[in-house]
Amino acid sequence: MAVAGGLVLAGVVAHSAWSSRRNRPKQATPPAAPEQEAAKTPVPDPLRESRERQEPSFDTDTGPDSDSSLAVLTSMTTPERKPGLDALIDVIAPVLVDSVVSGEAALAAMPSTRRAGSKPFGVEGLSVSTGEWELPAAGHRYGAFQCGVQLANRTGALNQIEYSEFVMKAQAFADAVGGEPEFPEMLDEVARARELDNFASGHDAQLSFTLRALHTAWSPGYVQQSAARIGFVVGSIPGRMVLPASQSGNAPILGLAFDTQAAMAEDPEQTALREITLSLDVPQVLRSEQPFARMCEAAMALAASMDGVIIDDNGNLIRPEAMEVIHADLEQLYDTLDGRELSAGSALGRRLFS
């Protein structure tokens, strides 16, 4: 009986250890030693690399000749460079001055805050040396100024109270530099703000996919390692990663987020994650980056490598054919934004949808 009891006890301990290991979140793989990495480095294959650079297909056939594959990423355009203020999305009040004003004097006259209510407020000077509008800078000289306030952003349209605050800030700046401002009619600008806000509200798209673990949960390190393999880098906020744009200075193409508390836990690798979120802020990213195609590619790659599924906010599976429908709708949205000179990822587009 003692032997039988020992066997039963050993079985219980073994089962307990097996269950504990089975339920433990998936862990990141330790980095290989340098000599092992060298041994694993494959000989470059130009044909394979060319195929891997193709944009993803939403069909089961993901080869480069697939009829349903998305277009290959085109050459990237440089970020649009426009003045900080633009009559398309700003109220602009010219400030005439009797004599040239130094950059130092202009900087001293700037208001302490760069907002009127919830809207960005800005001042530009007309450079005597270049003849171009620029932000006031020390050592420069200016023959005129203009003050502006944004008509709309994601907080809503410019209202009369915000317009009045803009007038006070602009008047104070003009008085300090010895200038005279000319303000547009308030009611006309507020009406223009409402129209722009209505357009922006109807064409603002922020998309997200949720990846849910099918069986074993994930540790934060496992998620980060898996995402890093397809180009994501750790963001400035715990629990957030981003897929950088192809050109510096542009908004990240995609975001990846998981529970912040799990990322900040004392022992995060023992924390179980069952869901992560991929997100795309459409108006903030250049169309030429093919952001939605890359979002779908990333979601499918992570789901395959991490043993997960792609679901929507209601917990329903998102299938490739549904992704194709969303992609077609987004192409129409891009065309509309282009038609209003508010292209996704452009300087004006990013300001309006912020």
In this predicted model, which residue has the larger pLDDT, 326 or 54?
326
209-240 pLDDT tens trace: 999 999 999 999 999 999 999 999 999 899 99
Q: Are 90 and 100 in contact (CB under 8 A)?
A: no
Give the 3-state secondary structure of residue 330.
helix
* Residue partners of 262: CB distance under 8 A and separation at least 6: 220, 239, 268, 271, 272, 273
Distances in Å between the alpha carbon of 262 and those of 20, 211, 258?
A: 19, 16, 8
Per-residue pLDDT, 1 = 57
Q: Are 309 and 237 in contact (CB under 8 A)?
A: no
- Looking at the DSSP bridge assignments, the partners of residue 29 are none
Q: Which CATH number does the domain 90-201 belong to among 3.30.1400.10, 1.10.10.60, 3.30.2350.10, 3.50.50.60?
A: 3.30.1400.10
Q: State the average pLDDT for the chain.
A: 84
Comma-separated ranges of CATH 3.30.1400.10 domains in the chain? 90-201, 205-352
Residue 290 to residue 279: CA distance in whole angstroms: 14
Q: Return the pLDDT at 26.
A: 72
Read off φ and ψ for residue 243, nearest 5 degrees: -100, 110
Residues 55-102: tens digit of each pLDDT = 333 333 333 333 333 333 333 333 344 458 999 999 999 999 999 999
pLDDT the model gives residue 54 = 38
pLDDT > 90 fraction of the chain, expressed in percent and rounded: 70
Percent with pLDDT over 70 in the chain: 78
CATH superfamily placement of domain 205-352 = ZipA, C-terminal FtsZ-binding domain (3.30.1400.10)
Question: What single DSSP character describes residue 249?
Answer: T
pLDDT tier at 45, thresholds 50, 70, 90: very low
What is the rounded CA–CA span in Å between residue 57 and residue 72?
10
- Structure confidence at residue 271 as a pLDDT band (50, 70, 90): confident
Nearest Cα neighbor of 345 from 330, 331, 334 is: 334
Task: Output the pTM of the full model.
Answer: 0.77
